[in-house]
Structure 1
């Protein structure tokens, strides 16, 4: 990185943080602390309002903002693709903002960079899922949830718990919404549930009658959505054998419960961990005779019973 690029990068680092030490900048840009001191002097002489506090570090004067001066084609593609993802996956309000963001980014790109970015984007495409009932409800709930999180208010909703295509139970929940996570194509709410008195996860597509309550809440000081990892309580082990003809399709299915694949002379062995056998019963049945349950015996028995029901019906 040449000095001009480093000076710009230092200003951008300072914009993103309140205070940063010279040692941190030296490590970030792989240079010496003495070089950082010289860079700070150069920025000050260029009228960038840098404040240096002995023993604390450097910061920018409040209110100073340096907009990005230029984008490379790769940076432009990254931003434009991100805006398109927001259009497809977030609620309509953010879709409108994503469209205006794309227009602003494209407007400031030099013609050569814009043309190069367009060529790259022409080779990429995001497909929207069909607008099923679950997808529509997901987007509606997201807008209400985001407002509740801004207001720091608990929410109430009806939740349908399913196992495969079968409705298992419905319940009414009151929760403190902590954040949203996009997992395997579906939006999940991470929330503190009053009923279970613990953090739980809820699919937005299974929530109905969502409303904001008058009860407020505060995020626990030690909770960080980025670092949060749910407790893994999948204690039941399952081993399946897939015929060689469908091995690739099974790999591509990429369901949450799969732990490992192993190649065997007779086909592809699939190792899974689940909470209940019902978690994967209908997924196993969907492969018909091309997948064999090796263990446990309880799952083999369930598959046999379901097969007998199908035989009786047809």
Structure 2
């Protein structure tokens, strides 16, 4: 299954946020292990290795302490963030793609994040980025307006392993069912956000369209990670996945 432009923007921003978060932890002079980082950000150890390599390639002096983990070289301070014009243009373009997302919480959080990012743009780049923004338009090909306002909260539940209670309405069914779930992953297809979660009613992983969630509650209690793999989930029969929505 291929990612649409909205999903790609989310992946890129999620990765950027994670790299900044890892750098912030390293700045605190903590020694971080790959296992610790994989658990904290719900990623594989291999992804941690790739993230550390990206930081090193970007000039961050990450050192490996044998048998302990990663740390920053003594005396290193992070210089002010500088964006090239092309990087700034990429972020502005992503904003137009994100605004077509059907989840208002995601749109609001992205706009707030971009305001903070734009605050460090050089004045010349900021002026050009605003000019470019007026020259971009993304057509919305959806036949109907499908809206939700839960994506940002659900993302937090995924990364913090919080139980979620939802009232869910299936397509062509007026009945609303109560579900207690363990949220594990999200994906976007045909302008719809889909949540993959362990459902205690069905005693299996199920796919829930976020715009069909009538009400949700993030519980303070946390669950034990079942080591869900989205890659393995997508190796199932596509018909079977649709049937589980």
Q: TM-score, normalised by structure 1?
A: 0.47
Aligned residues of 2:163 and 2:183 also touching (Cα < 8 A): yes
Structure 2 regions of 5+ residues with no counterpart? 1-19, 27-31, 35-48
Match of 1:232 among 197, 218, 236: 236
Deviation of residue 125 (structure 1)? Answer: 2.4
In structure 1, stretches of 5+ residues that fail to align are 1-11, 30-35, 237-255, 257-273, 276-314
Report the structure number with the largest CA radius of gyration.
1
Aligned-residue Cα RMSD (Å) equals: 4.6
* Paired position in structure 2 for 1:113: 125
1:231 positional shift: 4.4
Closer, same or farther: CA 121–62 of 1 in aligned 2, 3 Å: farther
Whose strand fraction is larger, Structure 1's or Structure 2's? 1
Match of 2:12 in 1: none
Q: Find the counterpart in structure 2 of residue 157 from structure 1.
A: 166
Residue 229 of structure 1 and its aligned partner are, at CA, apart by 3.6
Larger RCO (alpha carbons 8 Å, 6+ apart): 2
Cα distance change, pair 105–90 in 1 and its aligned pair in 2 (3 A): farther
CA contact (8 A) 1:179 1:189 kept: yes
Contact kept, 8 Å, 2:105 with 2:151, in 1: the verdict is no
Superposed, 1:212-231 pairs within 5 Å as: 212-213=218-219, 216-220=222-226, 222-225=227-230, 227-231=231-235
| 1:123-160 Cα distance to aligned partner (Å, 9 max, x none) | 32246799x8841xx11x33543454455332232322
Cα 1:195/1:115, change in 2 over 3 Å:
same
- Aligned length in residues: 198
Distance 1:233 1:119 in 2: 46
Q: Which moved further from structure 2: 79-88 or 58-67?
A: 58-67
The answer to whether the 8 Å contact 1:19/1:59 transfers is no
